Structure 1
Amino acid sequence: MKKTLIFVIIGLAVLIGQSHNASLTIYKDGMALIDQPVNWPITEGFNTVAFSGFPKLLYKESPFLTLKKGTVYSQRLDEDVFSSGKYYAEKQGHPITVKIHDEKLVEGTLLHISGQTIVVQTRAGVRTFLEQNIDYFEFEDQLEDPRFDPELVWNIYVTGESNARGNLIYTTGGLDWNAVYRLIIRDENHEAELIPQAIVKNTGDLDFTSSQMKLVEGNLQRASGSKPRPQMRTMSMSLESGGLNQAAQHEGLGDFHIYTIAGKHRLKPNQTVLLKLYEPRNITFDKTYVFENSERQKR
């Protein structure tokens, strides 16, 4: 019988998802609308296709798939992913083999497992093993195609095509932006240059490469508590300045203003990117001096 070998590993590898050629419309409340091109090789007729490259802060009710030539019949979000905690909990009462330092293999029935101990019913009785004394432990089991990321699955119908091409649109948290203005005083002639820039933040877990950005100025006035709670992360404060030489295109839409950032940019997880919002402006100004007396009046 095949066995699943479980090693005790110190340290974890973090897998970062990636999005390529997406269009990002970023609002000022930590929310963004993502338009992601998709392409699957298919056979003519009915097919089942899947996509897993979306962020963890996805709004679950938002994904919408459109196909250039085809029909979408159903969509589901499959979140049944492998979890070691769930797997171990399901193994209570099952056979287990434990290898202890400088000892023979111990076989028995798993009673309890935690981050520090394993409790096993053996022929000699109930034994408790400490994690630091365990080389490895294994179960008589075989996992079939374990999945580690949630995925969206569609049933589609396509005729006359060998590929299903379209766009997946969804909303997510973890993306935000704000405007900053820098005033460079040239001389004493009351002239200066006003430089508007945008700071775009990605506090999510998805790496957006070759992405196009639109920044929306305006308040959506969404109901409080409607957006997903971001995970606590350490933000990288290094600034990417590759887009500082290209100004955004400015459009008005009612109470909103949309700035289309020129070119394509990369927005890594936990990164802040500095971009040009629109062209610098030459302004004139007057200096005003305000004097305040902070001394307390003597009585």
Structure 2
Amino acid sequence: MKTKFFLIIAPLALAAAFLLTMTGGEAAAPQEKPYERASSADDQEGVSVTVYNSNLGLVKEIRRLTLPEGVTELKFSDVAGHIMPQTVHIVSLADPAGLNVLEQNYEYDLLSPQKLLDKFVGKEIKVVRDGVEVPITILSTNGGIVYRMGDRIFTDHPGKLIFPGLPENLLPNPTLVWRLENQITRPQKVEATYLTGGMSWKSDYVAVLDKEDQKIDLTGWVTLDNRSGATFKNAKLKLVAGDVHRVLDQYGPYEGLRKLEAAEAKPASAPFKEESFFEYHLYSLQRPTTLKDNQTKQVALLTANQVPVKKRFLYYGAQHFYRTQYGMPITNQKIGVYVELANTKENRLGMPLPKGTLRVYKADSDGSLQFIGEDQIDHTP
């Protein structure tokens, strides 16, 4: 009976083991490696940049891509070096539901001579000595190079180094890497939007006062500073005037919202077209422009000639302030000289003016312009 019992159980155990092996083998099968695709600025079909007053820019970029169906790893390069990765948004303009983001990474381990050396610590490379390639092993790069040549250890720089290749995880530029699930096999336009630091703008105004101090020729300039780490070619440029509220511990000092009144825009022939947007003013440049990295660019904001002004003399005579310690009035207080203008269409203006510095010039007796003063103006509706 024991023999029969053993003979019956053994085949069942073997069958169970076989089933477990088959099932376990299927579960442990490695996942297929996703397709890999790379996209650079060469795929770009359009880019728009919105610049704020507070070291902030919003970039919206459209690229044409052809992705395989299924899971794909997309390396999206040529983005701003000061990108805020947590603000990135990507969507397919052809079919938003057909492209889903599974993972997102921001790769900023950038290629440099030092980084390249660091990646080859413990590995063999070659150095050129007297025209001959000699193998060496990098032992350390902390504070200098330590390497082995033959059975001896050296610490000086060995000379011209030859590497067998580039490590896979070193990139020439900051790159966004997405793991995408794609259902669209035809070419599609993809829109990526993100915030970046390193961008700001300000306004400057130049006023030339006439001989009678009754009219000025006014020119406004927008000065843009791009230190974002990227160049934006033929970009649609927009400027936001107003102080955008941002979270203190994430982006920088608190800056409260500034409420601006709506006002009538200048005609579309102006370099910038103004419109009210939420509680701000939005200025759109009426032509594309290129914003190079590490560049300061000036763009004309407005030009108005023969604008009527009034010259005023103001004396602030608060008695409790303008007295000496003996109670006697101070008699040598200076009188302020102000030039006042009205921002109206009748005065050839009418567009809300962003805050900035206004500098005033006037011609002397021989016609040479002389600088006579400057002042700050706030956002002026």
Give the TM-score of the pair, scaled to structure 2.
Answer: 0.57
Is 2:258 aligned against 1:226? no
Q: Does 1:61 align with 2:90?
A: no
Structure scoring higher RCO (CA < 8 A, sep ≥ 6) equals 1
Whether 1:40 aligns to 2:65 is: yes
Within a 5 Å distance, the mapping from 1:137-176 to structure 2 comes to: 137-138=161-162, 141-143=164-166, 147-152=171-176, 153-159=178-184, 162-176=186-200
Determine which structure has more spread, i.e. the larger CA radius of gyration.
Answer: 2
Q: Letter of the 1:174 partner, please give it.
A: G
256-265 vs 282-291, which deviates more? 282-291
Conservation of the 8 A alpha-carbon contact between 1:88 and 1:113: yes
* Alignment gaps of 5+ in structure 2: 1-40, 253-268, 316-330, 334-381
Distance in 2, matches of 1:200 and 1:93, equals 47
What is the CA distance between 1:171 and its match in structure 2? 0.5
C-alpha contact 2:65 2:190 (8 A) present in aligned 1: no
Q: Which has the higher strand share?
A: 1
**What's the counterpart of residue 179 of structure 1?**
203
1:1-299 matches, cutoff 5 A: 21-44=46-69, 47-68=72-93, 69=95, 70-79=98-107, 81-82=110-111, 84-101=113-130, 107=135, 109-113=137-141, 117-120=145-148, 122-123=150-151, 125-128=152-155, 130-131=156-157, 134-138=158-162, 141-143=164-166, 147-152=171-176, 153-159=178-184, 162-188=186-212, 190-224=214-248, 226-227=250-251, 246-278=270-302, 280=304, 282-288=306-312
Task: State the Cα distance separating 1:53 from its structure 2 match.
Answer: 1.6
User: Partner letter of residue 76 of structure 1?
Assistant: Q
Q: Aligned in 2, Cα 1:274/1:96: closer, same or farther, shift over 3 Å?
A: closer
RMSD across aligned positions (CA): 3.4
Question: Does the CA contact (< 8 Å) of 2:68 and 2:182 recur in 1?
Answer: no
What 5-or-longer segments of structure 1 have no aligned partner? 1-16, 229-244, 295-299
Give % identity.
20
Once the two structures are superposed, what CA deviation does each residue of 1:159-184 show, in whole Å capped at 9, x if it has no partner? Answer: 3x521212111010111111112212
Distance 1:23 1:56 in 2: 17
Deviations 1:180-234 (A, max 9, x none): 1221224426122333321111123211111111111101132345338xxxxxx
C-alpha displacement of 1:67: 0.8
- Deviation per residue, 1:17-53 (Å, 9 max, x gap): 7876311111000101111111112345554433112
2:67 aligned partner, one-letter code: I
CA distance in 1, matches of 2:50, 2:303: 20
| Residue 261 (structure 1) shift | 1.3
Q: Which structure carries more helix by proportion?
A: 2
CA deviation string 1:110-163 (max 9, x = no partner): 33346755432633x4334x32xx443446x5546553233222414233x521
Deviations 1:242-276 (A, max 9, x none): xxx84211112343111111111111122222223
